[in-house]
Amino acid sequence: MSSIRSFFSLAHAGWVLAREGVVSALPADALPPPAKFAHRLAGLVARKQAADREQSERLSIALNKLGPSWIKLGQFLATRPDVVGKETASDLSLLHDSVAPFGLDESRRRIEQSINRPIDEIYSEIGEPIAAASVAQVHKAVLRSTGETVAVKVIRPGVRARFRKDIETFYAAARFLDKTVEEAKRLKPVSVVDMLDQSAKIEMDLRLEAAAFSEMGENTKDDPGFRVPDINWEFTGRDCITMSWVDGIKLSNVEALREAGHDLEALSVTLIQSFLRHTLRDGFFHADMHPGNLFVDAAGDVVAVDLGIAGRLGKDERRFLAEILYGFIKRDYLKVAQVHFDAGYVPPHHDVTSFAQAIRAIGEPIHGQSAETISMAKLLTLLFEVTEIFDMQTRPELLLLQKTMVVVEGVARTLDPKFNMWKSAEPVVGSWIAKNLGPVGILEDTREGLEAARRLAHQMPKLAKRTELLSEHMQGMITNGMKLDPETTEAIGKAEAKNNRWGHIALWVIAGLLAFNIFS
């Protein structure tokens, strides 16, 4: 039944994508004949208005028509240029939710169910939605107990059930591609859907987003010029978050920022340094920093909202990123190459000096440009292209970082077209390297090594006991043979009986065919 439902859901999705001109805009040169025929059909059914739209606009319209799960799929695939290609990923990165809000009465019900308290006991006022997206919407409210103005984010009704239904369709499509399209196997489509499934589950439990805000708030409490809203845990549950209200101007409204007297050049520096600080120092960064999620308050601080998508980097990945950026800043291309090899990102059978030569081909043209035209995001994009030549495996966490850096750098340049990325980045990157790769960093690594050794020593008696038991079991199997428990034996017997049954049927069919041939 689910496979039939998935088939019709895929057919509907194909029809919507064809009608909005998405399919006909895709290149068809490398398609097999049946797919080329389908491509031509898609062009015939496309709306006439679609031809006048940009590809990104067609995608946005189609995915919004298909619903919240498809919007989430598009936003997720924007972080995977290795899967959909750089141009498509770039188009998808422009996809922002444009979903009609649901009613205030429904929001009130969901808040009461989530917090298990009458809503009038919590808020003295709660207004109509001020922003609506594919997963949730936001209301302005006033706490009854303190009179504080707050923002209340409420999950969209039915979104989880809709996503569970649609994820079956995504899995059906991924398995079909995996079995029928040879090129798709390398991209591991089923694994991509697995990652989307996990990402959406996290985003649809608002307690986890609240925890992300809480963690970032602790990390950044002493940071200059950047903050996130405070979480009110008493009035936060699975379906709603209550957080401090942000009074400010959206970073997308450059003219309003200028009229309010904010220093746009300083804001661009604050934005990029904050992002690098979170990435390198904390290993935890806001991964959806488009201008609609960033405000500037009256004090001139950047305030980030909507933390449903966050990225994490381990210590090794942070060291990798910092040394690469600093290597490019200092034009030490052999160092950049060696970092890739030390991290195990490039297989050891390649030559490190040849790899350094390839990296020089990226770095030198960039250093030949004026500061305002140098793009760190472009550099990382070129770097990942070169690493493909040297068999570097896809690193999803680095792709998410790259995608976020592209967005953040783009926002910085809208504030200051002459923004000097390298000059802004050097203090943060240099400080992190001095602290973590200098004497202090060596001492910290030594301390962590000793702590790991202590934990291992603590576990040694248990490990020795497990090794002893394993040795006894192995010796028993050698002496007495392998014994299966009754349930396993019964399962094997049933499977064997089933196989034998089909074997007997096959033999009777063959015998019947032989008899027919003999007597005919």
User: pLDDT digit string (tens) for 335-351?
Assistant: 888 888 887 778 888 88
pLDDT per residue over 91-109, tens digit each? 676 666 567 899 999 999 9
Report CA-CA distances (Å) from 197 to 62, 190, 193: 21, 10, 6
Distance from C-alpha of 290 to C-alpha of 281, rounded to nearest angstrom:
22
- Residue 222: pLDDT band (50, 70, 90) is very high
- Residue 173: pLDDT band (50, 70, 90) is confident
More confident residue, 164 or 115: 115
Task: Please answer whether residues 429 and 322 qualify as being in contact, where contact means their C-beta atoms are separated by less than 8 angstroms.
Answer: yes
Distance from C-alpha of 82 to C-alpha of 399, rounded to nearest angstrom:
8
Distance from C-alpha of 459 to C-alpha of 447, rounded to nearest angstrom:
19
pLDDT > 50? residue 514: no
Of the residues 288, 316, 351, 485, only one is catalytic, namely: 288
For 139, the 3-state DSSP assignment is strand
Highest mean pLDDT among 202-206, 297-301, 339-343: 297-301
Residue with tokens 């248990």: 462
Distance from C-alpha of 22 to C-alpha of 91, rounded to nearest angstrom:
11
Highest mean pLDDT among 76-85, 283-292, 388-397: 283-292
pLDDT > 50? residue 442: no
pLDDT > 80? residue 163: yes
Distance from C-alpha of 444 to C-alpha of 435, rounded to nearest angstrom:
10
**Mean predicted lDDT score pLDDT of the chain:** 78
CA 156 to chain centroid, in Å, comes to 21
pLDDT > 70? residue 205: yes
Amino acid making up residue 30: A
Q: What pLDDT score was predicted for residue 210? A: 96
Highest mean pLDDT among 96-110, 229-243, 419-433: 229-243
Q: Give mean pLDDT, residues 54-80.
A: 73
More confident residue, 455 or 253: 253
| pTM strictly above 0.85 | no
pLDDT > 70? residue 508: no
For the chain, count helices (H), then strands (E): 22, 10
Highest mean pLDDT among 184-193, 274-283, 330-339, 457-466: 274-283
Amino acid making up residue 420: N
pLDDT > 50? residue 517: no
Question: Which pair of structure tokens corresponds to residue 382?
Answer: 């070129």
Distance from C-alpha of 80 to C-alpha of 86, rounded to nearest angstrom:
8
Residues recorded for the chain: 520
Task: Please answer whether residues 326 and 308 qualify as being in contact, where contact means their C-beta atoms are separated by less than 8 angstroms.
Answer: no
Q: What pLDDT score was predicted for residue 3? A: 66
Task: Please answer whether residues 339 and 320 qualify as being in contact, where contact means their C-beta atoms are separated by less than 8 angstroms.
Answer: yes
Distance from C-alpha of 356 to C-alpha of 341, rounded to nearest angstrom:
11
Question: Which pair of structure tokens corresponds to residue 20?
Answer: 């909005």
Q: What pLDDT score was predicted for residue 56? A: 62
- Residue 510: pLDDT band (50, 70, 90) is very low
Q: What pLDDT score was predicted for residue 483? A: 57
> Minimal CA–CA distance to 77: which of 69, 292, 305?
69
Distance from C-alpha of 490 to C-alpha of 488, rounded to nearest angstrom:
5
> Minimal CA–CA distance to 310: which of 384, 219, 420?
219
* DSSP assigned state of 283: S
Distance from C-alpha of 133 to C-alpha of 131, rounded to nearest angstrom:
7
- Residue 369: pLDDT band (50, 70, 90) is low
More confident residue, 253 or 67: 253
Angle at 259 between CA 253 and CA 96, to 5 degrees: 5
> Minimal CA–CA distance to 248: which of 232, 224, 227?
227
> Does the annotation mark 91 as catalytic?
no
Residue with tokens 């709660």: 126
Q: Give mean pLDDT, residues 10-34.
A: 70
Q: Give mean pLDDT, residues 390-405.
A: 72
